[in-house]
Amino acid sequence: MALRRFNAGGKKQKELTEEQKQEIKEAFDLFDTDGSGEIDSKELKVAMRALGFEPKKEEIQKMISDVDDDGSGTIGYEEFLKMMTHKILNRDPKDEILKAFRLFDDDETGKISFKNLKRVAKELGERMTDEELQEMIDEADRDGDGEVNEGSKPVSHGGVLAHHEEDQPLLEEQVSPSQRSTIPDGSHICGSAFTWVGVGESEPQPQQTDWTASAKGGSVSWIEGLDSSSVLVQQGFPDSGPVVLHDPEIQEVMSDSANILYELAEDAHEQMSLHHDTDWTQFPEVGEALKAIGIEELALCVALCPGRAKWGVGVAGNQKKRSQAARLSLCLAVASECSTNESVCHSRPCWGEFYSMAEAEMEAGHMAGPRHHAPNGKGRPGQQKGARRPKEPVASAYDTEEDPADSAEVAEESQEFPEEGEEGAVEEEEVPIEAEEEAWEEVETEEVAEPAEHVEPAPKRPRTTATPAAVSKSLAPHWLYIQDMPPSLQGLPQETLSLLAGNWKRKQLLDAAEKALAAALGEEADEVYLEDDADFNKFSSVSDAFKEKSGAEEPITVAISPTQELWAVGAGSQGKQRSAAAMVALATQVALYKAECGEELPDLSKLPAFASFVEEAQGAKE
């Protein structure tokens, strides 16, 4: 593991070191995927985040206009180097050091212990032995007490543990922006995954408010007494609420937050709306509250449940993870009044562990929050995994910004698909999920002319004969929710889009698969890779979900976009066709995601079949 040494004396750096120049070059090359020597504004933002900065859109545009001498809208390496040199040399090392020390000192002892250091190394994915960690402690331990005080301390920045000495400024290692929450100027949230704050006063004094207490050690607390000028209070919401900071260690419970909320209280899930506020203009009081506990200018998302008068905040640099964090925060807000909470804790251990941790923090001495009773009483009985998703959310006083992660909240949706050759439509019955497969088997027995042959157990699963209704149903795009994610798909969304190939009506669409992918992803299309599973072994849970949703049993191919953190499924008997179907499904997901995020979409007029399918997939999702 690389160690970094930098100025602990607070002196600003006058010029870059060779190591820093090399890291800037590596960051540039990492996002110059086509080797053209140029990067655009989007790639510039990601590259800067990899180096520890969190620029806003306006700042990016100004940066490009300042150094883009040829007016191409892109910048080369020399321009990038010039830009990053200015940013790095204007950092305040004293401020960075103080922030970094506080991130390590999560138990607020005023020192960094071996335990603190080991925790941070684990959170950052650094594989260090206990001996290596102890060596770092010993090197910085100046008074011989076995711990590091604020005078000489190791710090973590973006995946590197560093001990600072004189004359060597800090530059961060490259870290995936989706795997961390970033504070401006390069400090990262490495402490506890969640905290609770109150909002209202724009300039709180630490001696007169509980915000400071709630921030200590990333503890859990409830804050009361918000100012009446608070946007939330004016809309009838309580004067306190939880905040969840994204942390890789709680990714499992964050990914499961949609199901957790639905099983805690179906009405809360139905009414919930997400409001992303990246620049603190919609919820300035929340931003001020975050700033009061040491979190500066991080993008936030507020989850609202008007019917229960509950709200929660999620904080993360990545929009999907921010949505998950906000939803999990709302789970904490409503759990205390839900009779189903105990059963959900048992059925979903990740939630039980997280909720117990939150309760333990509160019982350790922090003020318990007010328990606002819901107008309609306690939550409805919990649902089984895969319960159907409510369709129409309740309107909110705020302009909602829908998130692609929102639709991953439950496993099944009831849909209607036209049956070929008939005027009517075959309506899917509302049956328990565990009974759906059995119901399909009964239909097959009734309608198939000849009984299915008995197949002896074999490495490959037997093919089943589909009824006309099942065939009609299988032709539609299907949104799948995968409860048990395969190892190679861990960390990706549990919801995905699937498409069955082999139908002549889809020929024009499948023939344009590569063009559709290029239109949706641009240069990032080159990074997409396919994983085939013709034997139903690699992605068995995905195959099962596809069969349950579509009524068809076919080999599948999975298409994955690592940069967009999205994946999709193509099914069919022929490998080439299902690969094309997977690419089309992935391109469709990307297009829908960009539309939901307000990004400009490419011109699809030359790809009418793809444009039509995007609309079809959107309709299936709704």
Residue 413 structure tokens: 């949706």
Average pLDDT over residues 602-611: 86
| 8 A C-beta contact, residue 450 and residue 440 | no
Between CA 160 and CA 182 the distance in angstroms is 15
CATH level 3 topology of 95-148: Recoverin; domain 1 (1.10.238)
Q: What is the mean pLDDT of residues 436-462?
A: 39
Going by C-alpha positions, the residue among 241, 250, 239 that lies closest to residue 214 is: 241
3-state DSSP assignment of residue 120:
helix
Residue 16: per-residue pLDDT:
82
Say how far apart CA 505 and CA 168 lie, in whole Å. 64
Domain edges within the chain: 18-90, 95-148, 220-365, 477-621
Token readout for 484 is 């048990």
**354-398: pLDDT as tens digits:** 888 877 766 654 433 333 333 333 333 333 333 333 333 333 334
pLDDT band at 498 (very low <50, low <70, confident <90, very high): very high
Percent of the residues in the chain that have a pLDDT greater than 70, as a whole number: 61
Name the residue with higher pLDDT: 183 or 545.
Answer: 545
- Note the pLDDT of residue 171: 33
| pLDDT band, very low/low/confident/very high, at 204 (cuts 50, 70, 90) | very low
For residue 124, what are its two tokens? Answer: 């950052």
Between 21-30, 218-227, 484-493, 533-542, the lowest mean confidence (pLDDT) is in 218-227
pLDDT value at residue 264: 93
Name the E strands within 308-443.
310-315, 416-418, 425-427
pLDDT of residue 170: 33
- Kindly indicate the confidence band of residue 414, based on its pLDDT and cuts at 50, 70 and 90: very low
Strands 310-315 and 241-245: parallel
What does the chain come to in residues? 622
**Residue 497: band (very low, low, confident or very high) from pLDDT cuts 50, 70, 90:** very high
Q: What is the pLDDT of residue 545?
A: 92
Q: At what angle do helices 18-31 and 41-50 cross, to 10 degrees?
A: 140
The answer to whether residues 333 and 304 touch, using CB atoms and an 8 Å cutoff, is no
Region 520-530: mean pLDDT is 88
Cα distance between residue 302 and residue 329, in whole Å: 9
**Residues ≥6 apart with Cβ < 8 Å to 188:** 52, 103, 156, 157, 158, 180, 181, 182
Closest CA to 403 of 283, 262, 272: 272
What one-character-per-residue DSSP string does 561-594 give? Answer: ETTTTEEEEEE-SSHHHHHHHHHHHHHHHHHHHH
- Paired tokens of 297: 């200018």
- 3-class secondary structure per residue, 204-255: CCHHHCCHHHHHHHHCCCCCCCCCCCCHHHHCCCCCCEEEEECCHHHHHHHH
Residue with the bigger pLDDT between 554 and 476: it is 554
- The C-alpha atoms of residue 112 and residue 127 are separated, in whole angstroms, by 19
If pLDDT is split at 50, 70 and 90, which confidence band does 6 have?
A: very low
0.95 exceeded by pTM: no
CB atoms within 10 A of CB 240: 25
Task: Return the closest-CA partner of residue 622 out of 378, 340, 414, 359.
Answer: 414
Query: Judging by beta carbons within 10 Å of its beta carbon (0-12, 13-18, 19+), is residue 234 exposed, middle or buried?
Result: exposed
The structure tokens listed for 619 are 């309709």
CATH topology of domain 18-90: Recoverin; domain 1 (1.10.238)
Judged by DSSP in three states, 112 sits in: strand
Higher pLDDT, 594 or 186: 594
